[in-house]
Structures are given as structure tokens and as C-alpha cells.
Structure 1
Amino acid sequence: MAPPIPLLAVCESDGTSLLCGPPRCEQYSSFQRDSRPSRYLTFSKDGTLIGWCNGHSVSVVKCADGSVVSTFDLPKTALLEFSPLNNILVTWQPYTKTQDSPQGDANLQLWELPSGRLVKALYQKKVDSWCPRWTEDEKVCVRSVNNELHFFENNDFNSIANKLHMQKVSDFAVSSGAQPCKVAIYVPGSKGAPSFVRLYQYPVLGGPGAALANKSFFKADKVMMQWNQKASAVLVTASTEVDKSGASYYGEQTLHYLGVNGETALVQLAKNGPIYDVAWSPNSLEFCVVYGFMPAKATVFNLKCEAVFDFGTGPRNAAYYSPQGHILVLAGFGNLRGKMEVWDVKKYKQVSTPQAPDATFFSWCPDGEHIVTATCAPRLRVSNGYKIWHYTGSVLQKHDVAEGAELRDVRWQPFPDGIFPERPIRHQAAPSELGSTQAAPTQAYRPPALRHLPAAPSSKLHEEEPPQNLRTGPGGEKSLSKTALKNQRKREAKKAAKLEAKPDPEPQSAPAPVSHSQSEASSGSGDPEMDKKIKNLNKKLRAIEELKEQQASGKVLQKNQVEKIQKEEQLLKELQALQVKP
């Protein structure tokens, strides 16, 4: 049986449309276009329903035939969401007070589908975490109320089945997958106490030993928590609003790992700077981090938080795995030029480098073959439109909105896992009438008066780092690719040349260098105290040699280890001074 054809929903200021799938997306004949200005749209998790609000009402229709399921007279609705099994529709409108209603009206409504019956009306002043979160079987629903978590069972919202009493729970994340339900909670630090994230398995929420894992840390004003699909681990990106050192405009970020088996770790990143994006692979065994001052690095880590592959540096700030997990796209959107790097994850081989300037949105099609990029309002109010791509870089369709109109959102119809199988990766561009937009190699600017002259030797502002495989080889050391080894030898030769060219301030009085082996082979001085000092110095120098070997093999050293290596020359001088004493 052939896989279904995905639909693409397009939300514009002049109406809502539903298009029938790639490579070219045409109007879906079973869906009647809504010509009223759209505010928000969403699909149900299984893709069978679509709902949207247009400033007059909220409509829910079936994607298969376009038939209306329910219509709600809710003109002020700004957000809506389906429960995982489509039993409940959640709508939210901004909280307001009036003279007739000084307490305000309940602005969060839970509606039963398809009867349209109001199940529960609640107050939700803040838009953050506005929607209750369900498990996939809808047996447990979680909602944050006054800094504590309320748990409801079997969609019975008239009685609270359980509560998590904790000091000021600021955020939470419910695991994906079936039972048992797991929840990650974040409590910000106060009065000198650290912030912390804890994992619990419902319904065991209190008492000693109830937490599956606990990770505390300082420097956190807010966090972002991401469960993997197998609900075995959580990644926590902790952020501060201000970097007190003044090194970054974006504040400070750290990345932490928590496993349901109790293991926790701080993910060590090889470059200083912001953490732009963190993405779990659909296989739940690896994750990709984009980080560091521009040009940013991108690295894949395993569940032991060990670096598996380093993509080097480049103009990027986002990472997107395909639904099947076999392709990874690294992209630079926003204030960057929209360059995308498409990688074969299994072979770590680059497939293409398309470019989508001014794109503010990216999304994979469920088939794992196509993507959509879009320029949407209010982020950008000019050049609004979208493009359908094949991952090999070919532009299959381009649509620009009419003059005076705005594109608000585009969304692919989701499907359950396994509907679209993984296909072999192609490296040749797919045929297209619009061609491809491969990113051209950048060249340094030369004034017109100098363009006829020979080019001067290039000097780069930033030293670019090439991709390198960091998987552990059979000998226990991390194996580097041929290109990485070649570049590493070049860097080492360059450093050696600089050292040779550096003049010696006192060439006549400089003592001869003493190797570690020579110092250890020398006979004792006869002074026990001096021999003890020499022994300790030799021990520190041996440790530095081991760290230098690890650094040469590609291992990323911690800050204190790098500081130890920098003290080598000082230790050698101390050792030599002790050995020349009479």
C-alpha cells in the first residue's frame, strides 16, 4: 500500500487554505477555503483533524473529506490545541477584566469533540505553558496552577487526582510515549540556593527517593526541557538573561543531561558562546547541539554525553532531524543568510547546501524527502511566501503572497510513526523547473580599482574548523578523518614555526632544556626534602604529558586541564633550579 499524500496548511491574512502534497502542492479539492483572515491553525497529532480561528469562530474539520466536525462561536480565540486522541479541543483567549466582571472571565476552555460540549472553563492569565499536557493515551493530564502541578485522570477535570507540592514549580515537561507517565519539573533558585530539575514517574510524586533523577545548577533564569521519544532522558538548556562577564549579548547558557536511570551530566561544549539549538535524534540515542560564537560549531553527542561527530564551524543557529532520523539539516536563519547544510547522518556525508535567504520558518515533510521554508509575519512583513524543497537542494515550488497580504503560518499534516518508511539517500539533485539554490562559496570583497591586480594572500578573521569524526576507534583513541589529520598537522607545524621564530631574550644564560626522562633518571641529591620536591614535580609533568597526548588525539579538555598544560614551562624551570643546586 502506497503511503498517503501529506497536506500543507497555509494561514494567510486573507484566508486559510489546504494544499495537497509535494512535490507540487495544489489546492485540496475536498477543503473549502476560508476567506476570512486567519489568526492561528493547528492539526491534531494524528493528522486526521485541522482546526483554526479567524476572529469570528473556531472551526474543526476532517482532513479526509473536509466535513465539519464542530464550530464554536469564540471570536477572541488566539490559540487552540487538540488532545492526543482528539477527545478534547483546548482554546485560549487573552485574559481581560471589565467593570461588569472585575475577576475576569475564564479564558481557557476545554471542549468535548465532536459534541461541542464545554467540559471545563479555567483561568490562565499567562500565555506561557497555556495548554494542559496529556500522555499519549489521555489517561493523565497535567496543568500548572499557582506554582504547583495538578494531575487529572481520564479527562475528569472536576476532581484533582494528584498534586505535586514543590516550592515554586516554574516549568514542567511531560514525557512522550505510553505509560508509565514521567514528568520533569524545574524549580528556580532563590536566596543563594541553586535551581534544580527533577524527574518523577506518576503517581509517585513525593517522599524520599521518589525522584528518578535530580540535577542542580546555578546561573539559570529559565530552562527549556526536551524529552527524547523513548522517554529515557531529558536535555535541559539553562539560560540567564544577562552575561555578567559581558562576553555575550545573549546571556549565558549551559546544557545538562538527566536520564530516568538516575544518571546526570553537564554536556561539555568545545567552544564558548551561546547555545542556539538542541535537537534529539528520532532514535533517542543521539542529540545535536549548535553552539559557540559565530561561526558556530555543531556536534552530535551520544547518551554518555561524548562527542560523536563534529561538523566544524559555520554560519548556523538551528538543527533539524528528518522524521526518520536519517538526515540532519544545519541552518542559519534569522540574522544569517539562510544557508542550509544537509547531512547524511549514518555516513556523516554532506548531501547539499541550499540557501533560503530571509527564511523565518523551516519544517520537514513527514515523508522525510521534502521540506518547506517560509518568510512569515510578524517576524518579517515583506517578501512573505514559502518554498517547497527536495533535500538535495532543488526548489520544487515557490509561492509569494499577494501584495498587501501577509503569510502567518504554514504547517505539514502530521502522521503516526512508521507511515512513511526511510528511503535511500540521494546525492544527485532532484529534477526541477526552478532549479536549485546551492550556496555559492563566499569570497573576500575587493575594490574595483584592485580587481585587475593579483590577489593578495588571504587572511581570515576566523579560523574555520573542518568536520571531524570523533567516534572511538579500535585502539581506544578517537579516530580522525584524513582531512582532520592533515589540518591538525598543519596547525602543529604552524605553532612549531612560531616557536622557532621567537627570539630568546637571554640566549647566553638560558639553561639547556631538561626532559622528563632525564630528570627522573638523575640520581638523588642526598637531601630528602629536595628529592621529595623533585618527585612531585616529575609527577605533575607526567600528568601534563598525558593531557597533551589526549589533546592531540582530539579530546576536548576542561578548563582546569588546559591551565595545567600552560604551567609546564614554569614546572620545568622549578625542576631545573632544584637539580642545579650544589
Structure 2
Amino acid sequence: MAPPVPQLAVRGSDGTWLFCSTPTCQEHPSFPRDTCASRCLTFSRDGSLLAWCNGKVVSVARTSDGSSVATLELPKTTMLQFSPLGNILVTWQPYSKSGQEAQGDGNLRLWELPGGGLLKGLFQKKADGWCPSWSRDEKVAVRIVSNELHFFEDNNFNVIANKLHLQKISNFELSPGSHPSKVCVYVPGSKGAPSFVRIFQYPQLAGPDAALATKSFFKADRVNMQWNNKASAVLVTASTEVDKSGASYYGEQTLHYLHVGGETAHVQLPKNGPIYDVAWSPNSSEFCVVYGFMPAKATIFNLKCDAVFDFGTGPRNAAYYSPQGHILVLAGFGNLRGQMEVWDAKKYQQVSKCQAADATHFNWCPDGEHVVTATCSPRLRVGNGFQVRHYTGGVAHAYETPEGVELWEVRWQPFPDGTFPERPVRQQTASARPGAPQAAPARAYRPPALRHLPAAPTSKLHEEEAPQNARPADKNLSKAALKNQKKREARKAAKQERKSEEEPPSEAEPPSDPARVAPSRLTETCGDPETDKKIKNVNKKLKAIEELKEQQAGGKVLQKNQLEKMQKEQQLLDELKLLQVQQ
């Protein structure tokens, strides 16, 4: 049986329609286009239903043939959401005291499907956290109401089955999956008290020992909580609006880890600067963090919050795992130039690199083979359109909006888990557009009067770090053995530092391989005892730097003092040349 063809829902000023992706790359022949401008749209979790509001009515239709499931007279609706099994459609419109919701219907409404009968009307003034959260089997639903979480069971919203009361609770995140459901809640700090996050398992919500895990921290005006797919751990990104140290325009961010078993940790990031993105791998055993002042670093961490692989630095601010978890895309959108690095997430090998200039949206196709990049309004009102790409860089289809038309949103149709199996990762073998002319590499401008002269050596504004395995030899070591190994490395580094800086220089050993020694270092004596002593001392330091380079090339993570020592190599070479000139 041939796999299904993933479809894209496209919303813009010229209406709402479905686009069939590869291999057909055409508008869905059985789904009629709604030519009225749409306010919002959403798919059901299995992708069988599509709902949208065109400013007149809310329509629910089947994606297979476009047949209508329900039509609701809700012209002011601005947000839509299906329950996980598609039994309920939730609509929200801005709250107004003089509107119909003031008469008792509410501005947050739950509609039963199919048919569209009103199940419950509720009041929800704020757009943040507007939609109730369900467990995957729809056995439990929860919404936040004035310092409380209200829990409902079996889609009965007339009876509150349970409550969780925490003073000033401002945010929560229900775990994915089915029973038993867990909920992670956030309470901001006040009057010098820290903020905290707690994990509870439903229905054990009361009592001093009810919380499965608790993590408190300062410097948090808001948080973003992310469960992994197995609902075993949560990543909490805490952010402040203003960085009081003045180091960052984006405020200050910290990353925290909580496990349902009670373990918590503050994830230590080696480079200072903002946290741009945090993404769980679908396998739930590792996560990727993009962080640090530009050029930003990207690092994979395991469930012990230890670095597993470092992708080095580059122009990036986002990380996207494929639905199967076998590919990772590191991208730089927004104020960056749209560079995308595609990596094999299991072998940590780069697959391809391409660029999507002016892209404001990126999303993986459920097949794990294609992605969509789009330029949408109102972020950018010119050059609107989208491209369907293969992860190796090839463009399968490019759509540009006609003049005077704006593109507002593109969204992939979801599919049930397991619909698209994981395929072997392929390397990039050709250019992004087969047969397309290759752009000439960009060169620095030179005035005409200087073009006949040899080019001056160029220097980079930022020295980018290369990818490296963060812990190449530690995978099979126990926790105690790893701790002892770190202690031995620290003692060895300290001893080497003392020898090179405090001890008097000794007679240097002849190099085992003269070809590996720089020619300027072969001269050890000049006849002057004082100068000879200085030359030997410099050569000894240069030899120690060469050993550190070999260790770094072999994958070893060097200490801070060792890295500082390596940065002095050019200074030592210049000093050696000066000493040899004095001979």
C-alpha cells in the first residue's frame, strides 16, 4: 500500500486551500478553495479534519474529500483547537462585556463533533493559555481558573472532578500520552521568594508529598515548560525581560531539568548569552539547546544533563528534530540569513547545508523526508511564498503569491504515529536546484586602484568553533570512574602548568619527528648562555602547546587554563623569532 500524501493547509488574503505535496505538488482536487480571507485554521491530531474561520462562519471539513462536518455561526472567532480524538472543537473569540458572551454563553466554547452541538460555554478573558489541555485518550482535561487548576473527566465539563490550588499559579503543562496524566505547574516568585515549578500526578494533587519533583529558581519573569514524549522529564526555560548586568538585549535565560523520579538540575551551558531554542528529541533520551552570543553554540545533552555532542558555533537560533528523531536541523531565521544545517542525529554527521533567505516559518513534514520554509505576513509583506524541500537541499516545489496577495500561514497535515517509518539518512549529492547555476562566492570589495596588487590577508569577525564529540571516552565509565578521571586530568593540567611557569628550564629533548617541528624552532643555541636559556624556555612552552593541540584533536575537552595557554602560541613564536634575530 502506497503511503499517504502529506498535505499543506495554506491560509492567506486570497482564501484557504489544501496543497498536496510530493510527488504531485498541486492544489487538492477534491477540496474546494474558500476564497474568503481566513482568520485561523487547525487540523485534528490525526489529520482527518480541518477547521477554519473565514470571518463569517467556522467550517469543519474532512481533508479526504472536503465534505462538511459542521458549520458554526461564529464570525469573530480568532482561535481554534481540536481535542486529541477529534470529538470536540474549541473556539475562542475576544472577550467583550457587551457581546453575546455576557449573556451566559461565554467566549470560550466547546462544540461536539460531528454535528456541532454546543457542549459547554466558558469565560476566558486572556488569550494566553486559552484552550483546555487533554490527555491523549481524553480521559482528563484541565484548564486554569484564578489560582486553581480545574480537572474534568470523560469530557464532562459540567462537573469539576478535581482541583489543584496554588497561590498565584500562572502557567501549567499537561503531560503527553494517556493515563496516568502528570501536570507541571509554575508559580512566580514574589517579595524576595524564588519562583518554583512542581510536577504532580493526577489525581494525587494534595498533601505535603504529592509533588513528584520541585525546582525553585530566581530570575524568572516567565517560563516555557516542555515535556518529552515519554512524559518522564520536563525542561523549563526561565526568562527575564531585562538583563540587569546589561550583557544582553534579550534579557536573561536559564535552563532547568526536572524528572518525575524527583531528580532536578540546572543545565550548565558552556557559553554565555541568550537561550534561543530548546528541543527534545522524539526518542525522549536527549535534547538540543541553541545558546550563546552570536555565533551561537548548539549542544546535545543526555538525561543526566551532560553534554554528549557539541555542534560548534554558527549563525543559528533554532533547532528542529524530524518526527522520527533521526535528523536534526539547526537553522538561523529572523534577523539571520536563513542558513540550515542538516545533521544525522544518530551519527552526528552533517548531511547537507542550504539556505532559505527571508524565511519566517519552518516545519517538518510527517514523512521525515521533506520540510516547508515560508515567508509570511505580517512578519514580511513582500516576497511571500513557501518552498517544499528535501532535507538534502533539493527544492521539490516553490510557490510565490501573486502580486497584491499575502501569505499568512502554512501548516502540515498531521498523521497518526507510525504512519511514516524512519528511512536511512542520505547525504547531499547535488546542488539544491539540479541544473541551476551556481552563485559565485562572495568576495570583499576592493577599490579599482588596488585590484592589481596582491590581496591582503583577511580576518574573521568571529572565530567559529568546529563540531566535536563532547565526551568521546566517557560513555562506558561508571559515575565514580568518571569523577576520578576528571580529578586526574585536573591534577595533570595543574602540574603541567606549574612545570612550564615555575620550574627553571631544563635541557630540551630532541624531537622524535623533526618534520613536525616548525623550522624556526630547530635552532636551540646561539652561543649566548642567557639567550640560549630563553630560547629553551620558549621552545618548551611551544612543545606543551603542541601536545594540547593533539589532545584536542583527539576529542579531549581542555580546561580553561589550557585553552588560554594555546592562545599564546603566536606570541611565543614572535618572541622566539626576536631571540633568534639577536644571535
Answer whether TM exceeds 0.5 for this pair: yes
* 1:263 paired to 2:257: no
Aligned position for 2:375: 375
Q: Does 1:160 align with 2:181?
A: no
Query: Does the Cα contact within 8 Å between 2:393 and 2:431 map onto a contact in 1?
Result: no
For the residue of structure 2 that corresponds to 1:378, the secondary structure is coil
Q: Is the 8 A contact 1:24 1:396 kept in 2?
A: no
Which aligned pairs between 1:146-545 and structure 2 lie closer than 5 A? 146-429=146-429, 443-473=443-473
Q: Distance in 2 between matches of 1:554 and 1:103?
A: 68
Counterpart amino acid of 2:139? K
The alpha-carbon deviation at position 433 of structure 1 amounts to 6.2
Name the counterpart of 2:9.
9
Separation in 2 of the partners of 1:210 and 1:229? 23
Letter in 2 for 1:174: L
Question: What amino acid is aligned across from residue 107 of structure 1 in structure 2?
Answer: N
Quick one: structure 1 residues 167 and 450, their matched pair in 2 at CA, closer, same or farther if it must change by over 3 Å?
Answer: farther
**CA offset at residue 210 of structure 1?**
0.7
CA deviations on 1:317-336 (whole Å, 9 max, x unpaired) are 00000111111000000000
**Contact 2:226–2:234 under 8 Å retained in 1:** yes
Unaligned runs of 5+ in 2: 479-492, 507-547, 566-583
Name 1:144's counterpart in structure 2.
144
Matched, 1:48 2:48: yes
Q: 1:241, 1:115 → 2: CA distance?
A: 45
Preserved contact between residue 290 and residue 298 of structure 2 (Cα < 8 Å):
yes
Q: Is the 2:205–2:211 contact (alpha carbons within 8 Å) kept by the matching residues of 1?
A: yes
User: How many Å apart are 1:475 and its aligned residue?
Assistant: 9.1
Partners of 1:447 and 1:353 lie apart in 2 by 32
CA displacement 1:270-326 (0-9 Å, x = unmatched): 100000000011100110000000000000111111111111000000000011111
Hey, what does 1:25 align to over in structure 2? 25
State the number of aligned residues: 502
Instruction: Report the identity percentage.
Output: 69
Q: What CA distance in whole angstroms lies between the structure 2 residues aligned with 1:432 and 1:269?
A: 34
CA gap of 1:452–1:477, structure 2 versus 1, over 3 A, is farther
How far apart, in 1, do the equivalents of 2:53 and 2:434 lie?
Answer: 34
* 1:203-258 CA-partner distances (Å, limit 9, x unpaired): 00110111111000000000000000010100000000000000000000000010
Matched position secondary structure for 2:185: strand
Deviations 1:11-70 (A, max 9, x none): 111111111222442111110110101111110001110110110000001112211000
CA contact (8 A) 2:393 2:432 kept: no
* Deviations 1:504-547 (CA, angstroms, capped at 9, x unpaired): xxxxxx986599xxxxxxxxxxxxxxxxxxxxxxxxxxxxxxxx
2:97 maps to a residue whose letter is K
Matched residue, 2:72 = 72
Distance, in Å, in 2 between the alignment partners of 1:203 and 1:111 is 26
How far apart are 1:148 and its partner, in Å?
1.4
Out of 454-463 and 123-132, give the one that drifted further. Answer: 454-463
How far apart, CA to CA, are the structure 1 residues paired with 2:435 and 2:60?
Answer: 38
In 2, are the aligned partners of 1:394 and 1:437 still within 8 Å (CA)? Answer: no
**How far did 1:202 drift?**
0.2
Q: 1:124 to 1:452 in 2, by over 3 A?
A: farther
CA distance in 2, matches of 1:314, 1:511: 39
Distance 1:178 1:448, change over 3 A: farther
| Shift in Å, 1:454 | 1.7
**In the TM superposition, what is the alpha-carbon distance from 1:446 to its structure 2 partner?**
3.8
For residues 403-436 of structure 1, the C-alpha deviation after alignment (integer angstroms, 9 at most, x for no partner) is 1111010011101111101111111447986667
Partner of 1:134: 134
Alpha-carbon RMSD: 3.0
Amino acid aligned to 1:148: E
Gaps of 5+ in 1: 479-491, 501-509, 516-547, 567-582
Q: SS at 2:341's partner residue? A: strand
In the other structure, the counterpart of 1:34 is 34
Mapped contact 2:472–2:556 kept (Cα < 8 A):
no
Q: Which amino acid in structure 2 is aligned with residue 456 of structure 1?
A: A
Question: In the superposition, relative to structure 1, how do residues 137 and 441 fare at CA in structure 2: closer, same or farther (>3 Å)?
Answer: farther
> For 1:409 and 1:430, how far apart are their aligned partners in 2?
30
Match of 1:489 in 2: none
Give the letter aligned to residue 461 of structure 1. Answer: L
User: How far 1:441 sits from its partner (Å)?
Assistant: 6.3
The answer as to whether partners of 1:60 and 1:69 remain within 8 angstroms in 2 is yes
Residues 215, 61 of structure 1: CA spacing in aligned structure 2 closer, same or farther, 3 A cutoff?
A: same
**3-state SS of paired residue (1:224):** strand
CA distance in 1, matches of 2:96, 2:72: 20
For 1:370, give the aligned amino acid: H
Task: Please give the secondary structure, in 1, of the residue aligned with 2:355.
Answer: coil
Residues 33/403 of structure 1: CA separation in 2 closer, same or farther (3 Å cut): same
The 1:296/1:33 distance shift into structure 2, 3 A limit, reads same
Q: Give the letter aligned to residue 7 of structure 2.
A: L
Looking at structure 2, the residues matched to 88 and 188 of structure 1 have their Cα atoms a distance apart, in angstroms, of: 32
Q: Partners of 1:438 and 1:267 in 2: how far apart?
A: 42
Residues 1:50 and 1:436: Cα distance change in structure 2 (over 3 Å) = farther
Q: Which amino acid aligns with 2:15?
A: G
SS at the partner of 1:150? strand
Q: Name whichever of 429-438 and 193-202 sits farther off.
A: 429-438
Instruction: Give per-residue Cα distances to partners, 1:456-482, cap 9 Å, x unaligned.
Output: 22222212100001234169799xxxx
Structure 2: distance between partners of 1:439 and 1:325:
33
CA contact (8 A) 1:189 1:195 kept: yes
- The answer to whether the 8 Å contact 1:395/1:437 transfers is no
Name the CA shift for 1:114/1:475 in 2 (closer, same or farther; >3 Å): closer
Residue in 1 that maps onto 2:90: 90
- The worse-fitting range, judged by mean Cα deviation, of 21-30 and 383-392 is 21-30
CA contact (8 A) 2:91 2:108 kept: yes
- Relative to structure 1, is the Cα distance of residues 196 and 442 closer, same or farther in structure 2, using a 3 angstrom cutoff? farther
Q: Distance in 2 between matches of 1:423 and 1:441?
A: 34
Instruction: Indicate conservation of the 8 Å contact 2:105/2:121, yes or no.
Output: no
Residue 354 of structure 1 aligns with an amino acid whose one-letter code is: C
Structure 1 distance, partners of 2:110, 2:101, is 21
2:364 and 2:35 mapped to 1: Cα distance?
Answer: 27
In the TM superposition, residue 451 of structure 1 has moved relative to its aligned partner by 3.6
Instruction: Write the distance in 1 (CA, Å) between the matches of 2:326 and 2:452.
Output: 47
Instruction: Evaluate the alpha carbon distance shift between residue 431 and residue 456 of structure 1 in structure 2; reply closer, same or farther with a 3 A threshold.
Output: closer
Instruction: State whether residues 354 and 436 of structure 1, in contact with CA within 8 Å, keep that contact through their aligned partners in structure 2.
Output: no
Task: Give the 3-state SS of the residue equivalent to 1:353 in structure 2.
Answer: strand
* AA partner of residue 412 (structure 1): W
**For the Cα contact (< 8 Å) 1:23–1:388, is it kept in 2?**
no
Aligned-pair CA distance for 1:139 = 0.5
Q: TM-score, normalised by structure 2?
A: 0.81
Normalization by structure 1: what TM-score? Answer: 0.81
CA distance in 2, matches of 1:166, 1:439: 59
CA–CA separation in structure 2 for the residues paired with 1:143 and 1:436: 52
AA aligned to 1:62 is R
Report the equivalent of 1:507: none
Output the amino acid matched with 1:4. P
